[in-house]
Structures are given as C-alpha cells and as structure tokens.
Amino acid sequence: MLLDGKSWVNIIIKYLITRLKLLRPKPTPYNLRMEDQKITKSIGLIKDLKMYVLGTPYITNFIVP
C-alpha cells in the first residue's frame, strides 16, 4: 500500500515480497497501530525499493507488518 510519494509509512505484505522476489527485509524495532487499534510488530524494512507509477520511477521504503 503506497499512501503517497511523500508518506513516511508505506506498507507491503509478506506475500508480495515472495511473489515479487524482493530481498529479505531488514529487522526493525517498529510497531504499527492498525485501524482497529491493535499493535502489530513489523517483520522488517525494505529500503530503497525502485518502483514505477504510470511510468515515473520512485524510490521508497516499505515496512513489512
């Protein structure tokens, strides 16, 4: 889920990491508060992932919950 190009929190699920054959996320100390107010510990962080939106390249970081 890419919130917007300037967002601090971009989230990608573990299933997509496997399907897209991305690198293993690096461990992080982050906890996420979900919409239902539950706290979820993140699996890790993928840094500097290059992605294209309508042909425009963006480099962003993703947290893996």
pLDDT by position in tens, the chain (length 65): 555 555 566 778 888 888 888 878 888 887 887 778 888 888 888 888 888 889 999 888 888 88
Is residue 5, in this structure, part of any structural domain at all? Answer: no
**Structural domain count of the chain:** 1
Residue 2 forms part of a structural domain:
no
Q: Which residues of 16-38 are buried (b: 16+ CB within 10 A; e: fewer)?
A: ebeeeeeeebeeeeeeeeeeeee
What is the pTM (predicted TM-score) of this model? 0.61
**Token output for 58:** 């963006």
Give domain status of residue 59, yes or no. yes
Range of the domain at 24: 14-64
Residue 23 lies in a domain: yes
Q: Does residue 3 lie within any of the structural domains? A: no
Residue 49 in any domain: the answer is: yes
Phi-psi region of 38 (alpha: psi -120 to 50; beta: other; left: phi over 0): beta
Cα angle 9-12-14, degrees, rounded to a multiple of 5: 140
